[in-house]
A and B are shown apart, each in its own frame.
Chain A
Amino acid sequence: MASLEVNRQPSATPVASWRLRAYRVAARLWPRALRDEHLDEALDSLECLLDDERRHSRAGAWVLWMRAMSDSVRTASRERSSVAPSGSAWNDMRGDLRYVWRSWRRRPGFPVTALASLVVGLGLAVAVFTFADGYLFRELPFPSPDQLYLLGDASTITGMVHAADVEEFRSNPEIAPFGFVEWSPGGLSGASLVIGDRRVTFGSYVVSPRFAETLQLPMVAGHWFTKDDYRPSTPAPVWISDHLWSAEFGRDPGVIGRTYRVVDAPRTDRIVVVGVMSPLIASFDLSNEPPDVVTTAIGAVPAGPNSYSSALVRLPAGMTRAQGEAHLNAAYRALPPAPGPRAWSRGSIQLQPLREYLLSGGRPTARVLMAGAVLILLLVGANLTHLLLARGAARASEITLRAALGASRWRTIRLFLVESLALALTGIAGGLLAGRWLSLLIQAHVPPFPTAGRNLALVPMLFDARIITVAIVVGLLLVAGGTLWPAWRAARRSGTWSARAVDGISAGIRSRAARLILGSELAMATVVLSGAVFLGMGIWKYLNQPIGFDYRDRFVVGVELPGTGRGRGTKADLAAIAGNIAAVPGVSSVTTTMRSMSNLGMSVTARDRMLSPEHVWTFEIGAGAVKTWGLFVQRGRALTDEEIASHAPLAVVDERLAIAFWPDADPVGRQITIGDGPARTVIGVIAPVAIRLSGDQNGAVYVPEAKARAARMIVIWAPGLTADQLKQRLAPITASLGSDGYLSVEPMTFSTVFLRDSGEALFQAPIMIVFGALAFIVSGLGLFGLISYLVERRQQEFGIRIALGASRSQIGAFVMRDSVIPAAAGLVVGLIAARALDYYVRSKVFGWDSSGVLTVVIVSALLLGLSVAAAAVPARRAMGSDPLKVLRAE
């Protein structure tokens, strides 16, 4: 045979080590001798095979891995049975497994239904748990995390303690041993890391000395900053987040000590990686954008008159929060007055547990998702219970026959247990795979920035041994819950075979119990579906609130001119480019971005009433703004381009401001003054423009810009054009800018305009839709299975009723009534439970909107429709009962 090239080249992206770990775990089933002798070789070969396959397709590697796992289990079974004596427990179990496999292949309805609901339910629960675990259950990865507190002072303008005061604490011999550390956003903010030919942007914050020592920060590679690292030196030492290490460096340990170039960093142009932080912490800074974070020691935490940083104290072991506050406040009060003309105020220090600071933002979302996942699991559990009970009843004659032929009680129980174990293991394996996939999907959609005031990405999602253990335990509990009862019933009957045994076993569960299951399943589905609809409607309303302008067909064009620094290009150059862009075919109008004047601290006065800058927004607009932004004029007219160009003393107000100043009169023609500027005449009222989606919305006034700006961001309205078409049409202008200049074109969308407001809503909405849909499908499957089972059980009764003169439509109505009444009762209970849940979560969950009766109507209609549909097929079967067959069977 010709020699084949089988030397493996190291892969750029190594095979996920968890796949090899999973294989190693599965191989524990192999006989010890085989494992000891060949497992390392097998793992090496598998890694090479997966590597080869991954070069062709990732999906192919997945399939190969699953086949290898299955091969490993079959190898274990084959090898163990070859060494086990005939009649051993192993061989008996193997025989039972074969029997189960054959029976599943013969009638796949049961395993497919049971496994589908187990895999989907468990997968979703696992994925949600990977998100919720960090926020609800997992401890922070520091020793004694409960002793770590954030320092706050409600009387300062930032709510934090001034950096100079924290420095004083550090030099106070009484409290210095507590350990104080600080961090502050910045350091390398706005910089890009150059890795090969790639530029990677990241979040950054700077930490004070002894930060890691005080927290006992866990590192996965490298070391804490040393004293030398705090010297202003080049390159700047940094820790990188585990995610950045994984995503950009392929978890290469060689990254430690390596120097990289950074561009646009304020203090340095090179960094050296000294450590990788634990994956359990993405960032400490709420305003950061995890997960790609760089923590640096360069640039001391600022300490000017307006310098506030997040400061943290580690209280000594045994000291309570109140005692800690007392100690710190005593020292705080004893501090000398703050120096300088802009002295900062001091009130009293409050301690906030670090755990609460890091986790409170994500907790409400985690709780809602977790509650949904638990309810879905309960639904799946109920489903499995009656599927297994119905199966037990369907196998009554087989069990009776086995008993008659001398099968022991244990043998019958074993058959049920082996089937359940096979179900559980397959379901758990499938659930873990589905969970892994779904958790990656969820992870990809966690907004990586603070959204609506919360940061959901501070705690990374980890799919580790803890998650796998929980999945296995939950999967086993679910299946065990559904197995024990039927196994016990079958065993009870199998020991005493008699002519009535068949009847006794097929009785399975009593009708009352079946109805109870049916009702409770409907109740749970009602709660999940109501929650999903409450959230769905709330989020829909939130995302569809009037925003006062049109973002469709709008593009933002960024202009980069040759040269360096802020002085690139003159005002005239930029104006010429804007003019050229306006002349491009298909471009209807162009303008600059609106310029907010609110930060200049100007109040707005009209009718002798003054609104302070915090309560009114002031914008300067350039030519073409009204048309380009698609502002909706409600009364009067908008500013013309001529009026804007001549800086006319005119103003347009929005509806909110109009109501604030002139609640009972027409504002058009009235006077308004901004700061100490000239009196302006109001010429029109426009619909309020949403600056953000949540929080307080102020009234706004729009005035012509005081002087033309050198705009590097141009807003374009080009109806009917795609971004690519626009880029093509702008190509000649781009070419005229020279080699260093370019135009960037970004289409305006809802999520780009309201990125930081819509992130959480857009994250939650799809998950809630999946929850609602799953609750609907799983309960539909369950209802169908249960009603079919009840009809099957009463086939004999229906036959007799028909023989005694009952019409077939009466039988159909009987079945429908018997199914829909418990379903309706469950629905009522579920609606009451949903209402109770509503009171609990109303103010705590983002996007929750339970106003109006529409939710109740939608949910009731959906679930009643579902129960009628689920009962329809069994009812038809009942109507077809043949009295002759029934009587002959009697």
Chain B
Amino acid sequence: MGSSAQASAALPDPALRVLLALGSEAAHGYAIMRRIADVSGGRLQILPGTLYSTLRRMVTDGLVEECAPPRDADSDDARRRYYRVTKRGRAAAESEMERLSLLVKLGRVFQS
């Protein structure tokens, strides 16, 4: 991606879920998966293959970045790496939410 024009383009579904799951906090991969499943009541699930390939691309695109574990980290497992949303990621999420809100507004005619 790399440009603001691209950042405002529609985000792939897994990337949007990761951004929403991270929010303003830092979290490791397992926590991201759990949050997505828990918040959606199990209806949405992202599995390890998709998650880590998405995270890798998002790091490359500057949407998320790796960071040090927070002080209240729930695990000191060396395999766990923590991620947080970057400014570019926040902008991409905002723009995507705007796009989706617009679609929801248009789709109200179908809501009962």
Contact = CB atoms under 8 A, between A and B. Distances in A.
Interface string B63-79: 00000000000110101
A44 B34 contact: no
Interface stretch (B3-11, B49-57, B88-96): B49-57
A41 B47 contact: no
Contact of A44 (B39, B49, B50, B79): B79
Contact of B53 (A1, A3, A49, A78): A78
B47 A71 contact: yes
Contacts of A38: 29, 52-53, 55-56
A46 B48 contact: yes
Interface in A1-45: 1, 3-8, 27, 30, 33-34, 37-38, 40-45
Nearest to B48: A42
Contacts of A46: 48
A1 B21 contact: yes
A646 B79 CA distance: 82
A4 B33 CA distance: 11
B38 interface: yes
Interface string A67-103: 1100111111011000000000000000000000000
A33 B56 CA distance: 10
Interface in B19-64: 20-21, 23-25, 27-31, 33-35, 38-39, 47-53, 55-56
Given A7-B74, A7-B75, A34 B38 contact: no
A4 B80 CA distance: 17
B53 A34 contact: yes
B60 to A, nearest CB: 10
Nearest to B31: A6
A3 to B, nearest CB: 7
Nearest to A78: B53
Contacts of B56: 33-34, 37-38
A27 B49 contact: yes
B79 A3 contact: no
Given A8-B75, A37-B56, A38-B56, A74 B30 contact: no
A48 interface: yes
A67 B50 CA distance: 11
Nearest to B70: A3
Given A41-B80, A42-B29, A42-B48, A4 B35 contact: yes
Contacts of B47: 67-68, 71-72
B94 to A, nearest CB: 15
A7 to B, nearest CB: 4
B31 to A, nearest CB: 4
Instruction: Give chain A's interface secondary structure class.
Output: helix
A84 to B, nearest CB: 15
Nearest to A6: B31
A411 to B, nearest CB: 30
Contacts of A78: 53
B29 A6 contact: no
Contact of B29 (A7, A41, A72, A79): A41
A340 B74 CA distance: 74
A79 B12 CA distance: 14
Nearest to A31: B53
B38 to A, nearest CB: 6
A42 B77 contact: no
Nearest to B35: A4
Contacts of B81: 41
Contacts of B35: 1, 4, 6
Given A7-B74, A7-B75, A48 B30 contact: yes
Contact of B48 (A4, A68, A79): A68
A882 to B, nearest CB: 48
B25 A3 contact: yes
Contacts of B29: 38, 41-42, 44-45
A164 to B, nearest CB: 60
A73 B47 CA distance: 12
Given A34-B56, A40-B79, A45 B33 contact: yes
A44 B31 CA distance: 11
A78 B52 CA distance: 13
A4 B31 contact: yes
Contacts of A30: 49, 53
B67 to A, nearest CB: 15
Interface string A224-259: 000000000000000000000000000000000000
Nearest to B34: A6
A72 B74 contact: no
A27 B47 CA distance: 13
Q: Which 6 interchain pairs have the tightest Cβ spacing?
A: A75-B49, A7-B74, A38-B52, A42-B48, A71-B47, A45-B30
21 contacts: A1-B20, A1-B21, A1-B23, A1-B24, A4-B31, A4-B35, A5-B74, A6-B35, A34-B56, A38-B56, A41-B29, A41-B79, A41-B81, A42-B29, A42-B52, A43-B48, A44-B29, A68-B48, A68-B49, A73-B49, A75-B50
Given A33-B56, A42-B52, A67-B47, 9 more contacts: A1-B35, A1-B39, A7-B74, A41-B52, A42-B51, A43-B48, A44-B30, A49-B48, A72-B47
